[in-house]
Amino acid sequence: MKYIIILLFSLTIISNSFGQNSKGTIVGTVEDEVTKEPIPGVNVLIIGTGFGSATNLEGEFRISGLEIGSYQIKVSAIGYKTLIKSDIIVNSAKPTSILIKMTSSLIELNEITVRSDYFEMDPSEISGVTNLSYEEIRRAPGGFEDVVRALSVLPGVAQASAGRNDLIVRGGAPSENLYIVDGFIVPNINHFGSQGATGGPISFINLDFVRETSFSSGGFSSLYGDKLSSVLSIDLRDGRKDHLGGKGTIAASQFGLNLEGPVGQKGNFIFSIRRSYLDFIFNAAGFNFVPEYYDALTKFTFNLDEKNRISYLFIGAFDNVKFNNKDSEDLYENSRILGSNQNAYVTGLSYRHLFEKGFITLTLSRNFTDFDSSQLIPCSILFS
């Protein structure tokens, strides 16, 4: 009886401890869409609650004491269009960090009419642009938390074949799509990619570190070169600024580790490494064809001062196909399969400087992709 009382008392203390930490926090930065300058004095209100805040001189705000759940945020400031951001998920594990970009508007002295919208518009694009946040991609039907697969359900977009991310946009070929990650051009963001195209079975961009995406299926500017079908721009978020944190993940086909945190007073980083476990399952089941892949992502950001910022990015994918040729039957079965090994990475530095009414971004990057495809064809020798 004594042990039961001690156990119940311990459980009560644990439950109280969890109850005390069941509140969440939203932190964020508000900046001008065009100039990238932080906007001070912006009103940030959580719709349906009494919680709100205003941005400081650095354009930053913090709202604490929120219950765990999903919220909508209304952002308003004089001289800017009112904006509503939905699907802001708050949890107790870490602060929810968001970046809000506001567009300027004319002010009429006699009368002001403000109409808010749930969807953001890119002032540099005319039409055919879809912006998706991290939460929208995560919840996309059939998306499987894959950035590219979530786009296949949009109007005018189709998959070349089931189970692959070869996108056909408005009838164009998969080779006519362009991927941009944090301003760096990446030829293909998929594992086991198709040489000369932009598809593959699964993306190697870790969704946990994606802030938002912008998908343009037409009307994009000549800035993106000779791509004819679509442009997918993926913006990665910054790391935590309060303290070091991370998590372990186990998905349908892979497991991995995420880390993020501050570096000094002005820097932060994100890091991810993942590995597939399909090879363990395939080997245990006695399959002849065994694919395996790894991917890594790291980003380091450092704010030199209020006007200057530098960041470093590395994304790598390493794919390998193994054949278990234990006997002649295995050799025959594998002879009908093309083994495609792929090693790919992109690495680069980005520097951004803010002017009074604009900004300039300089990037230096390197892309590397190595395709190694092979097929073993059995042969026989006849003697007479």
Assign 231 a pLDDT band (cuts: 50, 70, 90): very high
Helix, coil or strand: residue 302 = strand
Q: What does the DSSP assignment read for 32-92?
A: ETTT--B-TT-EEEETTSS-EEE--TTSEEEEEEEESEEEEEEEE-TTB--EEEEEEEE-S
Within 184-325, where are the H helices?
Answer: 278-285
The whole-angstrom distance between residue 183's C-alpha and the CA centroid of its chain comes to 13
CA–CA separation, 239 and 236 (whole Å): 9
Tell me: the pLDDT tens digits for 248-292? 988 878 999 999 999 999 999 999 999 999 888 888 887 877 889
- Provide the CB-side half-sphere exposure for 162 (13 A, CA): 1
Nearest to 193 by CA among 376, 370, 374: 370
In CATH terms, is domain 22-121 a member of 2.60.40.1120? yes
Mean pLDDT of 309-324: 93
CA–CA separation, 294 and 202 (whole Å): 12
* pLDDT for residue 67 is more than 70: yes
* pLDDT for residue 8 is more than 60: no
Mean pLDDT of 323-347: 82
Tell me: the pLDDT tens digits for 34-65? 899 999 999 999 999 989 999 999 999 999 99
Tell me: the pLDDT tens digits for 180-211? 999 999 999 999 988 888 999 999 999 999 99
Tell me: the pLDDT tens digits for 100-147? 999 988 766 566 666 655 555 555 545 578 888 898 898 888 778 888
| Maximum CA extent, the chain | 103
pTM: 0.81
The confidence score (pLDDT) of residue 19 equals 43
Nearest to 335 by CA among 326, 344, 323, 345: 323
pLDDT higher for 47 or 11?
47
